[in-house]
Amino acid sequence: MLAPDPEQRVVDRDELARLYHQMYLIRRVEELAARAYTQRKILGFCHLYIGQESVAVGVAAACRSSDRWITGYREHGQAVAKGVSPRKMMAELYGKATGASNGLGGSMHIFDASVHFMGGYGIVGAQVPIATGVAWALKRLGTQDVAVCFFGDGATHQGAFFEGLCLAQLYKLPVVFIIENNFYAMGTSLERQSAVTDLYLRGAGVGMAHEQFDGFDVETVRERVGAALHHARSGVGPVLLEIVTYRYRGHSMSDPARYRKDGELEEKKKSDPLLITEQRLKDDFGVSDAEIEALRARADAEADDAAHFADSSPEPSVENLYDYTYVSPR
């Protein structure tokens, strides 16, 4: 196990309430996105993160704001956790000019350099070598920042994954690779994808520090990712983490998820990240039901505001259609 970060502070009442608020906000924003999708206000692909919120929020709580995040297409929750405003995130889903990528990216291509959120990529595993490149730049520039790369269980079977890991380890780059193992790659269960189901063991093959843990408790995620960041930041090399999680919805909005075993979803919901944290707030900090309700009400209002903002924002104009396709010479 990686040594904990000696400088990480203990989570106090206010911090835990903040993490709960963030997780609830992400879930609420996505529930509204699902509704907007059925109303055809959001078009194209839309992959929801519901059930996995403790991962993004726990990682954000461990990171410095200047750490760079690189991720895949299931990134709405990560974007909000990293600091993309719910308004900009939702407007991007609606394809509006006020969106994080000016409405030209959509659900899979949220990008906001102002908060060091470096995308949103639709090709499974493609983000791994991109993160290795970002980490290379961070090292060459002499920063103390770390690249954090998220991807799914399915991505760990890609060539790009192995290639990215090999180079990152060889050059001892400051990067933390995070497998979000939600047990499915589209409709294919983990046992049907891979002979090795403890995916973190892939790190051993390239000599990389590796660790696996359950990600349903946001405090555990914060603490273990803090240890990994501390390791990567100290210059000794990258880390591969496997965070065990679960997605409640189908792969994308068009997937009814009939491939699950009977009762599996209900069983997993017993360790719902929101439930765990709500219980901790009550048991450890004496937070009342009324206070929990107030946190939720605030997040509900923020999510409603984001949806209203997206709905009432203008479409991108036709003149801007080809902007950002290629870098314009200056």
Ligand X SMILES: Cc1ncc(C[n+]2csc(CCOP(=O)(O)OP(=O)(O)O)c2C)c(N)n1
* 92 phi and psi angles, rounded to 5 deg: -65, -40
Binding residues for Mg ion, per CB under 5 A? 152-153, 182, 185
- Rounded to a whole number of angstroms, the minimum distance from the CB of residue 182 to ligand X is 5
- Rounded to a whole number of angstroms, the minimum distance from the CB of residue 51 to ligand X is 11
The residue of the chain with the least Cβ separation from ligand X equals 152
Q: Which is nearer to Mg ion, 2 or 185 (CB)?
A: 185
Q: Which is nearer to Mg ion, 61 or 244 (CB)?
A: 244
Q: Which long-range contacts (CB under 8 A, 24 or more apart) does 107-114 make?
A: 107/42, 107/44, 107/45, 107/46, 107/47, 107/73, 107/76, 108/44, 108/45, 108/47, 108/72, 108/73, 108/75, 110/75, 110/76, 110/79, 110/84, 112/79, 112/82, 112/83, 112/84, 112/88
The residue of the chain with the least Cβ separation from Mg ion equals 152
Q: Which is nearer to ligand X, 196 or 301 (CB)?
A: 196
From the list ligand X, Mg ion, none, which binds 122 (C-beta under 5 to 8 Å, kind-based)? ligand X
- Of 57, 107, 46, 102, the closest CA to residue 83 belongs to 57
From the list Mg ion, ligand X, none, which binds 155 (C-beta under 5 to 8 Å, kind-based)? ligand X
CA angle 109, 184, 263 (to 5 degrees): 125
Strand partners, 71: 120
Strand partners, 120: 71
Q: Which is nearer to ligand X, 227 or 240 (CB)?
A: 240
From the list Mg ion, ligand X, none, which binds 251 (C-beta under 5 to 8 Å, kind-based)? ligand X
Q: Which is nearer to Mg ion, 85 or 189 (CB)?
A: 189
Q: Which is nearer to ligand X, 87 or 251 (CB)?
A: 251
How far is the C-alpha of 66 from the C-alpha of 79, rounded, in Å?
14
* 146 phi and psi angles, rounded to 5 deg: -120, 145
- Rounded to a whole number of angstroms, the minimum distance from the CB of residue 73 to ligand X is 7
Residue with tokens 């520039």: 141
CB 106 within 8 A of CB 154: no
Q: Which is nearer to ligand X, 24 or 73 (CB)?
A: 73
How far is the C-alpha of 67 from the C-alpha of 74, rounded, in Å?
20
CA angle 103, 109, 115 (to 5 degrees): 90
- Rounded to a whole number of angstroms, the minimum distance from the CB of residue 96 to ligand X is 25
CB 182 within 8 A of CB 153: yes
DSSP 41: S
From the list ligand X, Mg ion, none, which binds 107 (C-beta under 5 to 8 Å, kind-based)? none
DSSP 112: B
From the list ligand X, Mg ion, none, which binds 60 (C-beta under 5 to 8 Å, kind-based)? none
- Rounded to a whole number of angstroms, the minimum distance from the CB of residue 33 to ligand X is 16
- Rounded to a whole number of angstroms, the minimum distance from the CB of residue 221 to Mg ion is 17
Q: Which is nearer to ligand X, 112 or 153 (CB)?
A: 153
- Rounded to a whole number of angstroms, the minimum distance from the CB of residue 154 to Mg ion is 5
- Rounded to a whole number of angstroms, the minimum distance from the CB of residue 183 to ligand X is 8
Binding residues for ligand X, per CB under 6 A? 74, 122-124, 151-155, 182, 184-186, 251
From the list ligand X, Mg ion, none, which binds 78 (C-beta under 5 to 8 Å, kind-based)? none
